Chain A
Amino acid sequence: MADTIAMEVARYQPGEDGAPTMARYDVPLRKDWVVLDGLNYIKDEIDGTVTFRWSCRMGICGSCGMTVNGEPKLTCATFLTDYAPGPVRVEPLANFPVIRDLVVDIDDFLDKLSEVKPWIVRDEAPLSAGEYLQTPEQLEEYRQYSMCINCMLCYSACPVYGLDPEFVGPAAIALAQRYNLDSRDEGAAERLDVLIHPEGLWACTFVGDCTRVCPKHVDPAGAIQRYKLTAALDTLKHYVLPRGGR
């Protein structure tokens, strides 16, 4: 194994630079080093201006998503050795405005997340009534969708979001489903009102790239499919039962 590997890192400062450029750095190639370790090495030892986000280095905080050799990846879970002999190309996540270098603006997602009401909708029982009972099977119904770390890899991979930034997008829809399928929740109808518009559920053309790139096996594509089915039935019910019935 060679003892170094070349990293090509996208450098860009909107307002100052006309277009992104690629800078090349050589970093140590170690068995246990991930792409993020290479970036930290560059920042500490070579060039303090290289800019990226990270925190946990254990795949749970969701900060370190970038495009590595064309694929959206968590850079703390992507080994440099997988790209030997190199070079490894690191770019910001696609489909988001770039703030600087490898840092993208994800505020759009946070706005969309709020819109789908990702909280338990019901009149809260007093604490003295104890827990809302939920069997392990009921928990299993929504568990997968509750594993989302908001890393944005799915938005970066989604061709629909790339063309239509109004699309609510995979993670937000999966999280809406997470609450819809929670036995303690009563907010499905309210959420459907938000998601039934053309930029909601129906914009998805089921390419499935979101599920493929998701590091937490959330399966947003599956969530959307299932949701569409409910939505279709619900619309149907509107015809059959003009009032109520939801």
Chain B
Amino acid sequence: MTTSHDIIVVGGGGAGLRAAIAAAETIPGIDVAVVSKVYPMRSHTVSAEGGAAGAIAEDDSLDEHAYDTISGGDWLCDQDAVEIFVKDAPKELLRLEHWGCPWSRQPDGRIAVRPFGGMKKQRTWFAADKTGFHLLHTLFQTSLKYDGVHRYDEWYVSKLLVDDGRVQGVVAVELTTGRIETITAKAVILTTGGCGRVFPFTTNAAIKTGDGMALAYRAGAPLKDMEFIQYHPTGLPFTGILITEAARAEGGYLLNKDGYRYLQDYNLGTPTPTPVLRSMELGPRDRLSQAFEHEVAKGRTIDTPYGPVVHLDLRHLGAKLIDTKLPFVRELCLKYQNIDPVTELVPVRPVVHYTMGGVHTDIDGATPVDGLFAAGEVACVSINGANRLGSNSLPELLVFGTRAGRAAAWHVFRHGKEPTQAVLSQAADERRRLQKDVLEHDGGDERISAIRTSMQTTMEESAGIYRSGDSLAKAADTLGELQERLPRAALDDRSLAFNTELIAALELSAMLDVAESIVASALRREESRGAHQRTDFPARDDNRFLAHSLAVREADGSCRVDYLPVTITRWAPGERVYGR
């Protein structure tokens, strides 16, 4: 079956819903489809806690927000994009307010802002400790009033249809029935989020499998700055639940297996009973993650069924302080990990948190493929450079979701064309592939979960917090082998109704492509910058690498890496100010 819309938005998270609403508001009567593999309000945006940055305080300015973003990103941000971002962010957050987002308030009823790591002024808007949840539900509920927005809930997009140099639609599987459908459109906006699940330990939900990155990459759009993967130093090892910095700011200790505050061995200051800003447990995030790696190498971490951990000790803070200052931390530990931080040590380790890289776009979300747009974590504009600042991604998905939605609507209005015959036969091929080569495929001896685990371990060991030319070359080989093993995986599940194993297989295939682009980009970047740390090239090298990497898929499936200069407008590269 074939249906058609003016615009298809792939993804129903914050970026997707904002883009859909923007498109509907730009051209009255435009027909927008939101296709999402989960119900929109289940999207990962829901788990963001901290807040969303937008300069509104009297002592704050757009320039200061821009500077914090650019220096935090180790000068790999495009400054024209950052300038637009900081200017639009407060407007977008305000729009959300008008739509009902329950932003936390000052006593007089005005919006309250609070401090956040890496931001030198108080500029983070928050809705208690559930900012992403409220933002997503507000967008979702508001989207219900737009007649032009049609939803395909629980549909998985497996392919972008591209012919004649332009995108013309998608092929998607309806989960409930297993029906495979061709949906054509004059523009497609990818808003599928990040790819944290390529790694074994991550704060990212199960759905963050880099699908949109793989879709774009296979359709000929380059992936930009994929080597920049942000770790958070304190996640729970098994669930990946994030334990906020506040736990350390209130005085929590990080201990190795000997009960020793090991950070003192890594130039992070001397231990004091009470916390000191920028020292020890309050050192920069990436330095903390790196110290963990050194402790593993020295054999001083604690072994668990989920690999090595260190301990976060909050016990000395006492129940009273924990319950007044850190109630959410205690709740998360108790409810989802069965640990009480008042009486027990909390096992933590660095976990993958955010993908700075993504589909290469301009400031309107346009990719080099005609009619194909991207916004949110799947995209790389880039405002995050080599390291994203906390609380910049929620405003990013609003600002660039809106811009992409508008640009796509105008694109349809001005250049919209009907699908070509060739694209319909492409769709028929994809349907056959899903049916014959994946669903009904026989005789395989591989399990999907085994290949997935291998990929994740390889990425953590070879392309994790520290990388080197050797480790990356080895990872590239292993990923190549896994790519060969994947077609030998046969599904246990052959039925059409809600076949989650089929989806898992497609997600794994996407993750392998994305992993290859990460490794290829990391191998070529012979310097250390932001989240990309090479043991064999420990210094930043602006002469060779003040540039974005662009990973391009060659016809034979291999990955070529090109470079694109960074746009500098007003802030010459200086020393990186560590984002805390």
Contacts and interface: CB of A to CB of B under 8 A. Distances in A.
A205 interface: no
Interface residues on B, range: 35 or more
Contact of A13 (B98, B335, B448, B495): B495
Contacts of B94: 127, 130-131
A124 B98 contact: yes
30 contacts: A32-B339, A43-B500, A47-B492, A48-B448, A51-B499, A54-B206, A55-B207, A57-B206, A58-B332, A60-B130, A61-B205, A63-B42, A76-B336, A79-B338, A99-B498, A114-B144, A117-B145, A119-B144, A127-B95, A130-B94, A135-B107, A135-B108, A136-B104, A136-B107, A139-B105, A146-B102, A146-B137, A149-B46, A150-B39, A185-B100
Contacts of A79: 338
Contact of B336 (A54, A58, A81, A120): A58
A15 B177 CA distance: 12
A113 B144 CA distance: 9
Given A13-B495, A48-B448, A55 B205 contact: yes
Contact of B337 (A32, A107, A184): A32
B497 A99 contact: yes
A193 interface: no
B205 A62 contact: no
Which of B97, B98, B241 has the largest number of chain A CB atoms within 10 A?
B98
B94 to A, nearest CB: 5
Interface of A: 13-16, 30-32, 34, 43-45, 47-49, 51-63, 76-77, 79, 81, 99-101, 103, 105-107, 110, 113-114, 117-120, 124-125, 127, 130-136, 138-139, 142-143, 146-150, 175, 179, 182, 184-185
Nearest to A74: B335
A47 B110 CA distance: 54
A176 to B, nearest CB: 11
A182 B100 CA distance: 8
A60 B133 contact: yes
Nearest to A182: B100
A175 B335 contact: no
Given A119-B145, A134-B109, A135-B105, A59 B498 contact: no
Closest 3 CB pairs of A and B: A48-B492, A133-B109, A44-B449
Contacts of A110: 39, 153
B457 interface: no
A126 to B, nearest CB: 9
A31 to B, nearest CB: 5
Which of B97, B109, B493, B501 has the largest number of chain A CB atoms within 10 A?
B109
B41 interface: yes
B176 interface: yes
Contacts of A56: 42, 44, 46-47, 205-206
DSSP class of B's interface residues: helix, strand, loop or mixed?
Answer: loop
Interface string B273-314: 000000000000000000000000000000001000000000
Which of A48, A51, A110 has the largest number of chain B CB atoms within 10 A?
A48
A175 B207 CA distance: 26
Contacts of A143: 102
Contacts of A148: 137
Given A45-B449, A59-B336, A81-B338, 15 more contacts: A14-B497, A43-B501, A52-B500, A55-B38, A55-B44, A57-B241, A58-B241, A99-B176, A99-B497, A117-B145, A119-B144, A120-B100, A124-B98, A134-B109, A135-B107
Contacts of A14: 497
A237 B92 CA distance: 40
Nearest to A79: B338
Contact of B100 (A76, A130, A184): A184
A138 B499 CA distance: 46
Contacts of A147: 130
B122 interface: no
A49 B492 contact: yes
A75 to B, nearest CB: 11
Contacts of B471: none
Contacts of B338: 31-32, 79, 81
B107 to A, nearest CB: 7
B343 interface: no
Contacts of A57: 205-206, 239-241, 336
Interface in B73-121: 91, 94-95, 97-100, 102-105, 107-111
A205 B501 CA distance: 42
B47 A61 contact: yes
B498 A127 contact: no
Contacts of B145: 117, 119
A133 B110 contact: yes
A55 B205 CA distance: 5
Given A57-B239, A134-B105, A149-B133, A119 B99 contact: yes
Contacts of B267: none
A28 to B, nearest CB: 9
Contacts of A103: 498
A132 B100 CA distance: 10
B98 A32 contact: no
Given A44-B449, A56-B46, A131 B141 contact: no
Contacts of A131: 94, 97-98, 103, 110-111
A175 B141 contact: yes
B491 interface: yes
A175 to B, nearest CB: 7
Interface in B229-255: 238-241
A155 to B, nearest CB: 15
